[in-house]
Amino acid sequence: MTLGPVMLDIASTCLSDEDKVRLRHPLTGGVILFTRNYESCEQLAALTAEIHALRTPPLLIAVDHEGGRVQRFRHDFTSLPAMRSLGKLWDAQPHRARRLAQQTGFVLAAELSACGVDLSFTPVLDVDHGQSSVIGDRSFHRKPQAVAELAHSLMLGLKSGGMAAVGKHFPGHGYIRADTHHEIAIDERAYADIEMSDLIPFRQMIDFGLTGMMAAHVIYPRVDKHSAGFSHFWLNTILRGELRFEGCIFSDDLSMQGAAGYGDIRDRAQAALRAGCDMILVCNDAQAADQLLETLQWEIPAVSLARLAHMRGRRYAKSMIQLHAEGTYVRAVREISEIGISNQALLF
């Protein structure tokens, strides 16, 4: 059985019978985990092993684990800094900031991969325009070049820890105030303004070899009437065509309010897939997930399957116990712990 184009969530820290039915469905291709799915490293490793054992090839397992306020697993995991703290350090010590960004990416990936997680939806490539509460300190910086440099370093760290990078939220979520989890978001800027600012980190990261991309639930009406994740123009003309991105495109969660203008869950899924997404996410709505699996008709293209295969993680260590005995990891954790101290020192 090949992977399907749908990524779903699960209810708890172990698989229920209902979860197993959904995850064995031919349309399913991945699982996204949340804080409710985590109790301990041992439990998480057992859960990911059970998920991977359900199918051949195994389902992809993902998580939003960026650092700062978006870190799903905390107990027994390293407390990762918000990306803004690396940006602050970049202003005074750019070389050190890049080094610490790489170490952060390495620790992030090594810990997750040791527990069987394939990928994290990171780094955030949005430019901080100072007015988006949902992005805020998740962004590295207000300067596009700083975002690109630090994200590149983080991506190198992710790779060394066994994990591909997924840039988000294309083509940029940092300019608007609206939170697409709860409302429809509109960015009134012209394409030239977006291109000269927000697109810079995406363009450079693609040139650096970025493997995955997540599209934004944001409408840019002066460019296209559809939000980016449902827009053939943004995903094909710009992302695939102009920027020459060849990796895997993920939708943002189709259950979010920012996707509400595209009908029921099947209509949203079809619109996102037809626009160019390789994999679509449906989270925190079991009824919608069941409806989608019952009604969606979609034969995943061979090129999408190839792109998804490149998102599969590599186990850096067999377990957290083994990882904690590894010198490179221990040194990286020690360096990361000094980020907050370094930023405090810059104030004096």
Pairing of strands 212-215, 166-170: parallel
Among residues 251, 254, 243, 249, which one has the least CA distance to residue 310?
249
> Measuring CA to CA, how many Å separate 269 from each of 229, 232, 261, 262?
10, 14, 12, 9
Cis check for the bond before 201: say yes or no (omega within 30 of 0).
no
State yes or no: 168 annotated in a binding site. Answer: yes
State yes or no: 96 annotated in a binding site. Answer: no
Is the separation of the CB atoms in 141 and 89 below 8 Å?
no
List the catalytic residues.
Answer: 181, 252
Is the separation of the CB atoms in 50 and 21 below 8 Å?
no
State yes or no: 142 annotated in a binding site. Answer: no
Neighbours of 310 (CB within 10 A): 12
State yes or no: 72 annotated in a binding site. Answer: yes
State yes or no: 182 annotated in a binding site. Answer: no
Among residues 227, 264, 293, which one has the least CA distance to residue 8?
293
Binding residues for substrate: 64, 72, 138, 168-169
